[in-house]
Amino acid sequence: MQSIVSKGKTIQEAIETGLNLLEVSKDEVNIEIIQQESKSFFKMKSKAAIVKLTKLEQKPIQKQESEENQIDVDPFEVINDWIDNIPDSKSMPEFLTVEQENELKQDEWTKPQSESLTGNAWVKNGVLLCECSPTRFPMVTIPDGVKVYRNNQIIQERTFVMTEKDEYKIQLESEEKETSWELVMDPQKLHVELHIEPGYKITRSLCDTEPAQHIDLVIEERKEVQNTLSYEDVVNKLADLGVKHGFHQGEIIKATEASEPVVFTIASGIEAIPGKDGYIELKINTKTENKLKENEDGRVDYREFKTIPNVEVGTVIAILHPPIPGKPGRTVTNEPIPPKQAAHVFVKIGRGITVVDNKIIAIKSGRPYFEERGNIVKFSVMPKLIHQGNVDLSSGNIRFMGDVEITGEVCERMKVEAEGNIVVHKSVNMASLTASGAVVVSGNIVSSEITAGKNNIVVAEVGNLLEPINKDLIRIIQIMKQLMSSPGFKANDLSRNGLQPLIKLLLEKKFSTFPALIKQYVKTVKKGENYLTDKIWMETAASLSKLFLSLSKEVISIEWIMELSKKLQELHELSQMPVEPNSYIVIPNALNSRLYCSGDVKVTEQGSVNTKIVAGGKLNIKGALRGGEVFGQLGAKVNEAGSESRTPTLISVPRDQKIYIDTAMDGTSIKIGNAQYNFIETRKHIIAYLDKNEKISFE
């Protein structure tokens, strides 16, 4: 078949030129458009239209018809007509040079012969093309994000069959996101952060695809970051927030140039510097050292018991350092930030102590005593009483405001009470020992009661009583305020009779159990008066008694009751504060006795039999624990618990502590928190604790 490639400014011009060269009509050729005409800006670098014309085969004419219609033609006349039809130079078809043809082959595909494209599809310059055959149609797969329209109807299938008779259009959507940003100021107004996420624009284009029977449309994406945040935008927003102080100009500029999501701190305030609390600087050792020495056979030599060294008159025991005020800060909105107030140390002066220029000085010789509860400290100098021989009917009970040392025994029904430590070199039989400090006994403890850290125990006891009392008192105050604000209440009645009639009515109608709580508190305070060195406990008991247990004619205002409630709350909080651990009990063994201590309890030899022990610190029994109940606030360690006769024995600790037992016999029970476990056979090397399911487990 005869073919020709022609070129023109337009498709129509290129077709007409080719038809003239082939000397055929438009119906006698197959027209293939190789290149559409196009023009760039300012009519430069325009592309001409290129078409390929292929002459169609003619059916052979019957010889008879040919001969009948044959006309003699002069050959020279035909040549002259052909020359006359050649266009002038201006309209001459522009034929491609060799260089232009090579360039065209590099930039574009020269469409191969029809036979090689049959049944194929391809993409060229963003246009989807195909050539079908009677036996094969090309297939096209559409990727995500692309819409293909056939005759202006969107194609729903992911893969479709393409035909030449249909018109196809491809739609590629660009994606664009604006820059988002915000300013975040912390609640304290100390920092302003700029959170920015730059915008972007995604441009998609359809890639050229070589001819194939099945092609996938390939999309190329180009993402361009578009950060539209300006310095002025940030400054204006800061002004709206009232930010006036601590700008970071460099960070703001960085934010305007950011190409990815990021957070910048663009303004900062000045944090307040907290003050330093006042404190006590001890100049001497005031703690009781628990360093008892054992000889080769394991027995404790109590003659080596070390007490706190004595001080002479004029000795500086401690220095009181006042609090150091803090420095104020400033918010980013230029508001002052007050510093945290520094706490003062309140010193309670006991016997034998004075204060000169913030120095705690001894004015008597003796043992220095120091007790700390929160920010309240107490100093005193304790004398020491050495009692030669036994404490019996001939000596009488011993009560001493200092340390007591007894070289003999403490006999039946006798009492020894000391504000300091008690040391007994021999046994204690059916007697009572009570000390504010430590108790150390070298002999047996039989049917006796020993209490160490009595002042701490009493403070904790009366402090716990104040919690339910104050709870009811607050409720009484609330009811009285409601009654006093009601329209039917006559204020002049209060000026004449006070609140006593109203209080009496409330106690009878709503708080019938309240007086019993007051009586219990007053009784407990009176009983432990010798160990409550601060008079505020006694004063509070007197105020409660006057208000709720007596018929006083004194006019009492609701403000006075509110002040009393505030005092009760402070005393309760004071009782819950940890104290200096200067109390403990050390004994060789105990039988049918009761031991109470705010600190550690240590049984060093045979052990404990049918005895109740309560330790505010650690409990350590080196011997055997036969019967009774023992409790260790900071854990318990027992060598051997229970007996072959299955004597009930209970060891308890709080839920966050552990129990250590080398040997636990049948009849032994352990309790951790509210969980209890009973041993039904002998077990060794036990470490018990409470697991996350609130059950007792063993390591």
* CATH number, domain containing residue 295: 2.40.50
Report, as an integer, the average pLDDT of 631-644.
Answer: 90
Higher pLDDT pick, 259 / 118? 259
Give the residue numbers spanning the domain of 159: 139-268
Q: What is the tally of structural domains in the chain? A: 5
Asked which of 229-233, 374-378, 455-459, 522-526 is least confident by mean pLDDT, the reply is 455-459
> Is the same domain home to 537 and 606?
no
Question: Which of the listed ranges 81-85, 103-107, 468-472 does the model predict with the highest average pLDDT?
Answer: 468-472
Distances (CA, A) of 351 to 310, 452, 471: 14, 21, 36
> Is the same domain home to 639 and 623?
yes
CB 220 within 8 A of CB 205: yes
Q: Is 330 in a helix, a strand, or coil?
A: strand
498: how many CB neighbours lie within 10 A of its CB?
A: 18
- Residue 35: the pLDDT is 78
Q: Is 54 in a helix, a strand, or coil?
A: strand
Assess if residue 389 is contained within a domain. Answer: no
Q: Which two tokens stand for residue 648?
A: 């009930």
Among 554, 576, 598, give the residue marking a domain's end. Answer: 576
Amino acid letter, residue 596 = Y
Among 111, 127, 152, give the residue marking a domain's end. Answer: 111
Average pLDDT for the chain: 80
Q: Give residue-wise pLDDT tens across range 516-569.
A: 888 888 888 887 776 676 678 888 888 888 777 776 666 677 788 888 888 888
Q: Give residue-wise pLDDT tens across range 32-89.
A: 877 777 654 444 456 777 888 887 766 554 444 444 444 444 444 544 444 455 444 4
> Is the same domain home to 588 and 570?
no
Question: Which of the listed ranges 60-74, 279-293, 452-466, 510-524 does the model predict with the highest average pLDDT?
Answer: 510-524
Assess if residue 391 is contained within a domain. Answer: no
> Is the same domain home to 45 and 19?
yes
Report, as an integer, the average pLDDT of 165-174.
Answer: 87
* CATH number, domain containing residue 698: 2.160.20
Q: Which two tokens stand for residue 43?
A: 């009519």
Report, as an integer, the average pLDDT of 20-31.
Answer: 79
> Is the same domain home to 41 and 149?
no
> Is the same domain home to 468 and 485?
yes
Percentage with pLDDT > 90 across the chain: 30
> Is the same domain home to 528 and 627?
no
Dihedral pair phi/psi, residue 375, rounded to 5°: -100, 20
Assess if residue 300 is contained within a domain. Answer: yes
Among 576, 606, 641, give the residue marking a domain's end. Answer: 576
Assess if residue 171 is contained within a domain. Answer: yes
- pLDDT band of 515, cuts 50, 70, 90: confident
- Residue 586: the pLDDT is 94
- Whether the pLDDT of residue 247 is over 50: the answer is yes
Assess if residue 697 is contained within a domain. Answer: yes
- Residue 490: the pLDDT is 58
Higher pLDDT pick, 275 / 487? 275
CB 334 within 8 A of CB 364: no
- Residue 100: the pLDDT is 47
Residue in the structure block whose two tokens are 């406990």: 537
Percentage with pLDDT > 70 across the chain: 82
Among 360, 372, 373, 374, CA closest to 311:
360
- Whether the pLDDT of residue 588 is over 90: the answer is yes
Asked which of 101-115, 119-133, 413-427 is least confident by mean pLDDT, the reply is 101-115
- Residue 62: the pLDDT is 46
> Is the same domain home to 637 and 544?
no
Higher pLDDT pick, 81 / 600? 600
> Is the same domain home to 261 and 308?
no
Distance CA 35, CA 446 (A): 120
- Whether the pLDDT of residue 268 is over 90: the answer is yes
625: burial class by Cβ within 10 Å (0-12, 13-18, 19+)?
Answer: buried
> Is the same domain home to 547 and 610?
no
- pLDDT band of 234, cuts 50, 70, 90: very high
Report, as an integer, the average pLDDT of 595-619.
Answer: 90
Q: Is 26 in a helix, a strand, or coil?
A: helix
Report, as an integer, the average pLDDT of 295-305.
Answer: 53
- Residue 6: the pLDDT is 75
Distance CA 239, CA 231 (A): 13
- Residue 112: the pLDDT is 43
Assess if residue 179 is contained within a domain. Answer: yes
SS percent in the chain: helix, strand, coil, step 5: 25, 40, 40
Q: Give residue-wise pLDDT tens across range 656-678.
A: 899 999 999 988 999 998 899 99
User: What's the chain's length in residues?
Assistant: 699
CB 655 within 8 A of CB 690: yes
Q: Is 366 in a helix, a strand, or coil?
A: strand
> Is the same domain home to 601 and 663?
yes
Identify each DSSP E strand in 514-635 by its residue range: 584-591, 594-597, 600-615, 619-632
- pLDDT band of 111, cuts 50, 70, 90: very low
Assess if residue 242 is contained within a domain. Answer: yes
- Whether the pLDDT of residue 570 is over 70: the answer is yes
- Residue 180: the pLDDT is 94
- Residue 409: the pLDDT is 94
Assess if residue 24 is contained within a domain. Answer: yes
Q: What is the DSSP string of 141-193?
A: EPPTTEEEEETTEE--SSEEE--TTS-EEEEE--EEE--EEEEEE-TTS-EEE
> Is the same domain home to 557 and 603?
no
- Residue 578: the pLDDT is 56
Q: Give residue-wise pLDDT tens across range 342-392.
A: 888 888 888 888 988 889 998 887 778 777 777 788 888 878 888 999 999
Question: Which residues is 140 bridged to in the sheet?
Answer: 160, 215
